[in-house]
Structure 1
């Protein structure tokens, strides 16, 4: 492990008001999104769509790193150029999702545990050889009646910490993603409570596994009411609750926090990030950035629909969403940008 290289990479990923583009959807998830807009669910269509993304002109103005799946990191452009080479040549760092997905947790009904630690050391070395500079592991925490349990939180936190230690050993910056899902009818206050407990547990485990926090990025949820909760707080209320929660739980040594979008609309995700980087920015010891998937990609996917004639318009939509989120990092995003 070269500590200084890890620190430098982590800082670069959140520098210049840029953020991460998550394009690491599993094959089943990608196929579901294709099906909704009538796109054939084939490997070639997934490859074509990802080529559309990585060849978007000017994407590197707002995006510092792209998180790929195992399928994507092995794919090539139609002309045979490896995707990793295209991404790196544009000045964007290639990253890789390395978990094997969230599975039902034995003895814990309705709760999940993320798998993938077996053989991870060897897989990480392969990804480094392919050109990856950072990695991602997602843990899933569900809020419901009497859950999450302490056992679920601790098991996922330990897995995240063990993954992070292996990443740093291999020379990859670990993006640590403990996602408290926004599904359900829970209140913002309940999400705050669970998110704070999860983050405290994750950082306790990172410390126990001797992970260097200066070479880590955190990818958390925002503190939000459940989607079916009758009370939906304002953008500013969400921003305030999220920042307070993070200040209580995330050490200042962490260089950056890159939020997941988690099912928020593109506009709301940008507006909430913008509010945190506006009047609250003076309170922040870390960079607050983005690592969005659907909140950046969905408008482009809706336009493309698998039709070559729509590629340019789809790329323009992708560029626009990335630019909106860069503005949100500066506290300069506003609704008028959506009309441009």
Structure 2
């Protein structure tokens, strides 16, 4: 494990940029960017376009280590290059930004008020490739829609079971049991979730480290105790469908909670913008997310 990268994620000022839209969400990401579905005819063309979008973001002068601690990549992005370097190497060597990899394969059908992760085939091989590509950690997402104790317990157990495998491989897992921001009992779900996370943290070997990626809580500073746990490197927040301004406002009321935004980060960016327009829009977004993250 890279100690410099660990120290940066653990104590650095800034946020984590999520550039990890996968196969299912890529068309919408491109549409938001101003590229319609009739602009490409197959997956390879689609992934080439989204890599060009991500490359434009990462190589922008606005995307820098002064504001950004880490960035989460999709597997296809990890395997591609920016210039003559693989994406993770470019991030760290040229930008000083710590690379993470999204490893989940999407969500299962809803059951007991939650959506578990689908199985992750060939996980060991994927983790090996991630290490070879100089990835620091991984990210995996599941979703809580109702305050169902059995469902939430299963989600947290699944996240931590896979997280232990990731930690044993030498990577730092981002545990992401998202609570749907539109849930009618979001606050109750968050209470159950926090309790179940503490139960799992207590079962970890003392040297295992994790990052928690959670929805911005209904009650300000609700996850403060999790930040103090010795196993927790950082607690980061997803935007969860909030607009950038909404997410920033809610985030700013939670001391120590930093952003790991995706849609809220790329909001307003389009392929049709000039480089000057694009870089200014990205700079304004990064600055506002950074300010909300350091309060």
TM bracket, shorter-chain basis = 0.7 to 0.9
Q: Is structure 2 residue 246 aligned with structure 1 residue 316?
A: no
Q: Which has the larger radius of gyration?
A: 1
Q: CA deviation at 1:126?
A: 1.0
Q: How many residues align?
A: 284
2:227 and 2:292 map into 1 onto residues whose CA distance is 21
Q: Is structure 2 residue 169 aligned with structure 1 residue 170?
A: yes
Q: CA deviation at 1:120?
A: 1.6
User: TM-score w.r.t. structure 1 length?
Assistant: 0.76
Query: 1:57-72 to 2 correspondence within 5 Å?
Result: 57-60=61-64, 61-72=66-77
- Tell me which residue corresponds to 1:123: 126
Q: CA deviation at 1:142?
A: 0.7
Q: CA deviation at 1:109?
A: 6.4
1:14 and 1:290 map into 2 onto residues whose CA distance is 14
- Tell me which residue corresponds to 1:27: 23
Aligned 8 A contact 1:199 1:250 in 2: no
Aligned 8 A contact 2:106 2:117 in 1: yes
Q: CA deviation at 1:130?
A: 0.9
- Tell me which residue corresponds to 1:273: 251
Gaps of 5+ in 2: 38-45
Q: CA deviation at 1:295?
A: 1.2
- Tell me which residue corresponds to 2:290: 326
Query: Per-residue CA shift, 1:204-244, capped at 9, x if unaligned?
Result: 1243353746x2211111124xxxxxxxxxxxxxxxx131x
2:50 and 2:223 map into 1 onto residues whose CA distance is 36
Q: CA deviation at 1:316?
A: 2.3
Q: CA deviation at 1:167?
A: 1.7
Gaps of 5+ in 1: 225-240, 278-286, 332-340
1:193 and 1:211 map into 2 onto residues whose CA distance is 30
- Tell me which residue corresponds to 1:297: 266
Query: Per-residue CA shift, 1:78-105, capped at 9, x if unaligned?
Result: x444222221121011110111111115
- Tell me which residue corresponds to 1:112: 115
| RMSD of Structure 2 on Structure 1 (CA) | 2.3
